[in-house]
Structure 1
């Protein structure tokens, strides 16, 4: 008899990403931890739905998917880059709606909402650099490819580019247009931050997440850049299992 599922790990993708990004993680997790990659509108199995350009709308969409399982069993949320910010916003909104809170947030390569040095998400551009609105489609595409978000063999496909560019534009619009409403208050949810050692986001900036939890905080570094997880699924899974008390 298969072990009973004791918790669900929801995973939120980065800007331009889809639920399929987390396929490899599944094989490194125990049967007692159910992996549930969340698909955002306009991509993957939801490619026929309209894209959203509002973080608030995306957060509501994610909570609609999370709520049924969250009310039935323990859960945690993992989010990479834009997905990390969405994970934190989901936890905030869950508290506002008196939903069960996640056992832990796993925030990967994500700057805090109020970080003054970097635009949120995978742009990686210091504020002194051109804003997202000033980037041409070619510059945006080249930047994402350079950061490792798209394999070179795939990036050369005109068909894939025509599919992904509207998704990237919608996601970047959502992230760069979002502004905190007042002061962000700490939440009673443990936070674990993952970061690539060569990411544009520094260890010191990533550590600022500690001020946004009233409970446990931890920070783990991995070899690699902003998309370090592509070569570190096993190590990532080990950290997740340890923090959730899974075997």
Structure 2
């Protein structure tokens, strides 16, 4: 049986540890590889990076030895993690490295269609906190703990600065990889932002919808992993 490495990237302010709960539900042919970014999780003592280019270089340095000809792998990213997957694909192709067999974009619309920006990173602290709570994904009483806020808020603001300054271009490149785009049924994505992923591949492109809003990733673990298994296991058993 072929083994498939699944590299996973977190959302803004998130840690790669969110993916650890997938382990019991993943097919045995899939090797889970959550990628931690500086400033969180086991890399909490490292200074967060302030640009997407820096992040991509850091990730490539981390996973380069795992990307080899004849060894299949896939990429998964939620929200800012989806932006990372998109930019990482460009870098991998530029560097003439083997492309993944599959890319999963979760809670992320296509980058070539500009979205209405809120510029979270420019908000004052009170407004920023309120907007973050409205997005979901943060425990309701989180901001009652100043010691956590002091660590988390600057990191989150930094990540949103990266996401909010995303460069949009009307150009996009079709690749041979398969794509699955995942969305919460209550997410505010226009149809073009969702369906546009079909323009990024000459392979298959599937859209999947889950209960909830932007942070459906926390509550729909089994259903998300089921989709991943269905997409990757057929290849593994070939």
TM-score by length of 2: 0.91
Match of 2:17 in 1: 20
Q: Are residues 1:40 and 2:37 paired?
A: yes
Alpha-carbon distance change, 214 to 13 in structure 1, aligned in 2, over 3 angstroms: same
Match of 2:66 in 1: 69
Q: Are residues 1:11 and 2:17 paired?
A: no
Match of 1:147 in 2: 135
Report runs of 4+ in structure 1 exceeding 4 Å deviation.
Answer: none
Match of 1:184 in 2: 172
- Answer yes or no: is the 8 Å Cα contact 1:195–1:203 preserved in 2: no
- Answer yes or no: is the 8 Å Cα contact 2:7–2:32 preserved in 1: yes
Name the SS for the 1:31 alignment partner: coil
In the alignment, structure 1 segments of 5+ residues that lack a partner are 120-124, 126-130
Name the SS for the 1:11 alignment partner: strand
In the alignment, structure 2 segments of 5+ residues that lack a partner are none
- Answer yes or no: is the 8 Å Cα contact 1:92–1:187 preserved in 2: no
Aligned to 2:114, which of 113, 116, 126? Answer: 116
Alpha-carbon distance change, 242 to 163 in structure 1, aligned in 2, over 3 angstroms: same
- Answer yes or no: is the 8 Å Cα contact 1:145–1:155 preserved in 2: no
Aligned to 1:54, which of 34, 51, 58? Answer: 51
Match of 2:84 in 1: 86
- Answer yes or no: is the 8 Å Cα contact 1:5–1:34 preserved in 2: no
Name the SS for the 1:187 alignment partner: coil
- Answer yes or no: is the 8 Å Cα contact 1:52–1:174 preserved in 2: no
TM-score by length of 1: 0.88
Map Cα deviations across residues 187-217 of structure 1 (whole Å, 9 max, x no partner): 2221100000001224542111111222210
Map Cα deviations across residues 46-95 of structure 1 (whole Å, 9 max, x no partner): 11111111111111111222211111621101000000010111111111
Name the SS for the 1:117 alignment partner: coil
- Answer yes or no: is the 8 Å Cα contact 2:12–2:156 preserved in 1: yes
CA distance in 1 between partners of 2:211 and 2:59 (Å):
30
